[in-house]
Amino acid sequence: MIQIIPVEGLKLIKQGDRLGLEIVKALRARGFSLLDGDVVVVSHVVVAKSEGRVFRLSMINPSPQAVGLAQLTGKDPAHVDLILRESRRIVRVRGEVIISETRHGIICANSGVDLSNVGEGLAAALPEDPDASARRIRSEIEEASGVRVGVIVCDSHGRPFRRGAVNVAIGCSGLEPIWDRRGEPDLYGRILRSKQICVADELASAAELVMGQAAEGVPAAVIRGYKFRPGETGASQIIRPRSESLF
Amino acid sequence: MIQIIPVEGLKLIKQGDRLGLEIVKALRARGFSLLDGDVVVVSHVVVAKSEGRVFRLSMINPSPQAVGLAQLTGKDPAHVDLILRESRRIVRVRGEVIISETRHGIICANSGVDLSNVGEGLAAALPEDPDASARRIRSEIEEASGVRVGVIVCDSHGRPFRRGAVNVAIGCSGLEPIWDRRGEPDLYGRILRSKQICVADELASAAELVMGQAAEGVPAAVIRGYKFRPGETGASQIIRPRSESLF
């Protein structure tokens, strides 16, 4: 059996806070101790806050390109300026939707620059290096708790062919994000030829079931009982290079 | 807290078996009773078996088109014939990969026709109407257990921009697949403008963490503690129509 436990009562995170330590403290305050092999899933917004990646829109002087794209999409020009700064290229613009490829290579809406759950007039950008964020949070958690865990930094992304967003892993540390089962036998002994499972994305999606993204304010969750394969490949390896893309 | 419980000890399912009843029996044999509000996630392969959607490849006389595409991809011509029969259009062919749009409108590899976990020389096609399958399984479960549940029929799909497959909902009954949070306030009172979450896909992904797709043979899971919104929209509504697609 697997359990998904919300991290409740986390303090409002500010720049410089040691997020991993604060997660351990919030869990302890409710009588909960982490165990070896737990996976801690953390929302990118709270990571952005701890890393000083939250920007005040009124402090931004939007570029002419941002002003133009803001007129086209009906967005705040300062928001668009941030989206452009965080992007490597714009993939599509339709209506008020901007799909871009971030500097990390992630294709998502608004370069992941989020206006929700950060406070009025503020925007949270994705971490500069989400795998490094996951490594840092993991070492803070392991230092404070004395146990070995996996850490996933998550964001909620739309999909080209499916409606509704799902939570995915943008950073990870301590666990292999993709479980390559090719070469294993199936139920009847037939060798699997093409089975690679993105367990990091599945763990991120599972965590969102308790994380509630609006007024509840549960920015992290613990997944207990999933036997992950330890590793340090990082979630950047989940991103499919354009050369591999079939679309 | 949410719990994900594997359905272990399910008998090998044959055409005509009442799958919902068999799931309740397997759970009872291990002393487990379903509760109101549980979500039961079932692999499409076991649904195919119960519905007689398993085909013997040696009985198929492949069309000339299937023979041609089989030569191009190195696949079994009978497998390709089934893929073509199950498809509305071929989206991409590269190497040994055939991406097609199924008759249901799902874009995935091989029209979802699976050679794994069905037995040597056999192939499992997706259910004719996965939402109807979910409704039938739900009514069997509810009749056998006396409680109200949600049911999801799942399959594991690749993604255009991300490596590795994840489990998604291809059928669902009893729960709304998409949670539309637009209009709700965030943590700071800002109204969410674009938040729609595909909870059915997140539940399917969470279930796969215990379902193991190879030798373990755990074709179903119970998710307990997730407060879903009841409804009968069906997973067909998750499929993004081409007119909405940004890609």
- Render pLDDT for B52-68 as a digit per residue (tens, 0 to 9): 999 999 999 999 999 99
Q: Are the C-beta atoms of A156 and A79 separated by less than 8 Å?
A: no
Q: What is the CATH number of domain A3-53+127-240?
A: 3.30.1330.100
Of the candidate ranges A83-97, B136-150, B187-201, the one whose mean pLDDT is the lowest: B187-201
- pLDDT for position A247: 62
Which residue in A160, A186, A214 is closest to B192 by CB distance? A214
Contact between chains at B201 and A164 (C-beta distance less than 8 A): yes
Helices (H), B97-187: 130-145
Q: Is the four-CA dihedral B210, B211, B216, B219 of positive or negative sign?
A: positive
Q: Which of A154, A205, A211, A224 to mutate to test the interface with B (most CBs of B within 10 A)?
A: A205
pLDDT at residue B171 above 90? yes
> Which amino acid would we find at residue B21?
L
Complex prediction ipTM:
0.94
CA distance B126 to B113: 6
Contact between chains at A188 and B119 (C-beta distance less than 8 A): yes
Contact between chains at B202 and A208 (C-beta distance less than 8 A): yes
- pLDDT for position B247: 62
**What distance lies between CA B17 and its chain's CA centroid?**
18
Instruction: Please tell me if residue A217 touches chain B, with a CB cutoff of 8 Å.
Output: yes
- pLDDT for position A216: 59
Q: What is the DSSP letter of A223?
A: E
Q: Which of B202, B216, B240 to mutate to test the interface with A (most CBs of A within 10 A)?
A: B202
Q: What's the topology of domain B3-51+129-239?
A: 60s Ribosomal Protein L30; Chain: A; (3.30.1330)
pLDDT at residue B214 above 50? no
For chain B positions 22-81, those within 8 Å of chain A (CB to CB) are none
Q: What percent of chain B has pLDDT over 90?
A: 82
Question: What average pLDDT score do residues B209-219 get?
Answer: 74
pTM of the model: 0.95
- pLDDT for position A214: 47
What architecture does CATH give domain B55-124?
Alpha-Beta Complex (3.90)
Instruction: Please tell me if residue A235 touches chain B, with a CB cutoff of 8 Å.
Output: no
Phi, psi dihedral angles at B174 (to 5 degrees): 95, -15
- Environment class of residue B227 by beta-carbon count within 10 Å: exposed (0-12), middle (13-18) or buried (19+)? exposed
Q: Show me where the domains of chain A are located.
A: 3-53+127-240, 55-124
- pLDDT for position B216: 59
pLDDT at residue B43 above 90? yes
CA distance A163 to A133: 29
Residues of B in contact with A46 (CB under 8 A): none
Question: What average pLDDT score do residues B116-130 get?
Answer: 92
Q: What percent of chain B has pLDDT over 70?
A: 97
Which residue in A116, A164, A223 is closest to B196 by CB distance? A164
Full 3-state SS string of B9-37: CCCCCCCCCCHHHHHHHHHHHCCCCCCCC
pLDDT category, B243, cuts 50, 70, 90?
confident
pLDDT at residue B19 above 70? yes
Contact between chains at B246 and A160 (C-beta distance less than 8 A): yes
**Beta strand B2-6 pairing with B220-224:** antiparallel
What are the pLDDT tens digits along chain A (247 aa)? 999 999 999 999 999 999 999 999 999 999 999 999 999 999 999 999 999 999 999 999 999 999 999 999 999 999 999 999 999 999 999 888 899 999 999 999 999 999 988 888 999 999 999 999 999 999 999 999 999 999 999 999 999 899 999 999 999 999 999 998 888 887 777 787 768 999 999 999 999 999 975 455 799 999 999 999 999 999 999 999 887 776 6
